[in-house]
Amino acid sequence: MTGRLLTIGDEILVGQVVDTNAAWLGELMTGLGIRVDRADTVGDDRAAIVERLREGLRTAGVVVVTGGLGPTHDDVTKSAVMELFGVGSRFDEAVFEHVRARFERRGLAMAPSNRSQAEIPEGFEALPNPVGTAPGLWRGADGTHGILVVLPGVPHEMKTIAVGSLVPRLSSIEGRAAIVQRTLLTTGIGESALQERIRPVDHLLTDDVSLAYLPSIHGVRLRLTGRGPDPESATARLEALAGHVLQRAGRWVYGEGEDSLEGVVGRLLLDRAATVAVAESCTGGLVTHRLTNVPGASGWVKGSVVAYHNDVKRDGLGVPESVLDAHGAVSRETAVAMATGARHAVGADFGLATTGIMGPGGGTPDKPVGTVWIAVALPDGANRAVMLRLGTDRIRNKERAATGAIDLLRRALTGLVEDDPGFVA
């Protein structure tokens, strides 16, 4: 099946907003076995929308539209859809009740224009929007048109409706097998090394069971897909593959789906009622920033010292002058002394430290730009340290070093540090 994406909004065309929905939907549909062959953007212009929809529904199996829903856009997408099919709309009481209740819960008066959210074009089903007011719309294929799906442009709402209503429908439409997916999140191992590890189970991969590697700066996501005549058999195939993948690569898997590495670490710390303090040199605050992005982080982040200057490493963290002199600021010894110092200075159970050369300047032949040491100090006084060799881009280096540090803490919390051959411990 061929898929087509259509994003609607003047704000995209004039460059005020970057369209991230198309990439997210492209990945989702690719995972469902739908080949997206085009992604178009048009403005809030009814004629242009009708023209694009007409062309798309004639040549593609499914067209997914985002944006142009809701009162602020004058419902331009809905009226385009009604014009295209020559239909009116019906007032959907269930949708209206949802909108009304939503305003009531927040103690807000509902503007009359919100009534229009409950106007559903004839021939369409409303897809529930649990996190907003504009419902999604679904129209099945007929003899001349492919499936048409309309979703709000707000990414959070779009994703919630897509996962809750679109994936099950696309997976179960007539003539297609049931499809189930899991996405395992890995970090600390490159794509090719990960493939090397998983390769022995490649014989499990068939038309019904597939595995995609999705690399990014923070790690490789593994998207596992199972297909079958019904959801049960699809799930059974998926789980068989997942079991084998986890057996071979589980130590690099930190979470699943929408998990974040820092959220996982936060749960691990909360579970044991432990706290962490960070000593950051080269990451310059980024590790703590990411940890404190997690709601409720104040329950397990005690505080940090960003020791950009050696003075601060010495006076703020108690790194001995002799260690700095003998080994330099970027060394295993300094990283360990910083992690230990953070534990004591801040008064936390775990200490985490980063020190390195992020570039563009500051490299030496011995310690080129991209050399980073990270260390974790454990509650029992022991510690672990690891060296990373990163690239030359300052911003990317900071991101990768922060991910490495947070993952080192995760490994320490799950007992995975010691037997890890990838670590210089």
Site residues (CB under 8 A) for a copy of itself? Answer: 12-20, 22-28, 30, 36-43, 45, 48, 214, 278, 280, 283-289, 291-293, 295-298, 301-309, 311-312, 315-316, 345-347, 359-362, 394-395, 398
Residue 18 beta carbon to a copy of itself: minimum distance, rounded to whole angstroms:
4
Beta carbons of 6 and 40 less than 8 angstroms apart = yes
In the complex, what is the shortest distance from the CB of residue 154 to a copy of itself, in angstroms, rounded to a whole number?
A: 13
Strands 219-228 and 209-216: antiparallel
Residue 9 region by backbone torsions, left for phi larger than 0, else alpha for psi between -120 and 50, else beta: left
Helix (H/G/I), strand (E/B), else coil: 348? coil
CB of 81 to a copy of itself, least distance (A): 19
CB of 43 to a copy of itself, least distance (A): 6
Q: How far is the CB of 213 from a copy of itself (least distance, A)?
A: 10
Rounded to the nearest whole angstrom, what is the least distance from the CB of residue 278 to a copy of itself in the complex? 7
CA 11 to chain centre: 24
- The string of DSSP codes covering 176-243 is S-EEEEEEEEE-SS-HHHHHHHHGGGGGG--SSEEEEEEEETTEEEEEEEEEESSHHHHHHHHHHHHH
Q: Which is nearer to a copy of itself, 24 or 96 (CB)?
A: 24
Q: Which is nearer to a copy of itself, 13 or 193 (CB)?
A: 13
Residue 176: phi, psi to the nearest 5? -115, 145
Q: b/e map of 163-202 (b: 16 or more CB within 10 Å)?
A: eebbbeebbeeeeebbbbbbbbbbbbbeeeebeebbeebe
Q: Which is nearer to a copy of itself, 251 or 394 (CB)?
A: 394
Answer whether 157's CB lies under 8 Å from 134's CB: yes
* Nearest distance, CB of residue 90 and a copy of itself, angstroms: 32
Are 329 and 319 spatial neighbours (Cβ–Cβ below 8 Å)? no
Cβ neighbours around 257 below 10 Å, total: 11
Closer CB to a copy of itself, 187 or 304, in the complex: 304
Residue 228 or residue 359: which is nearer to a copy of itself going by CB? 359
Closest approach, Cβ 420 to a copy of itself, in A, equals 27
Shorter beta-carbon distance to a copy of itself: residue 25 or 209? 25
What Å distances lie between residue 286 and 65, 189, 367, CA to CA? 36, 21, 22
Residue 221 CB, nearest distance to a copy of itself (Å)?
A: 10
Considering the complex, state which of residue 307 and residue 413 has its C-beta at the smaller distance from a copy of itself.
307
Q: Which two tokens stand for residue 151?
A: 């979703």
* DSSP letter, residue 135: P
Pick between residue 286 and residue 376 the one whose CB is nearest to a copy of itself.
Answer: 286
In the bound state with a copy of itself, the residue whose beta carbon lies nearer, of 3 and 228, is 3
**Smallest separation, CB 263 to a copy of itself (Å):** 12
* 25 versus 81: smaller Cβ distance to a copy of itself: 25
419: tokens are 């037997």
> 211: which strand partners?
224
Work out whether the CA dihedral 73, 62, 19, 185 comes out positive or negative. Answer: positive
Query: What is the rounded distance in angstroms from the CA atom of residue 371 to the CA atom of residue 358?
Result: 8
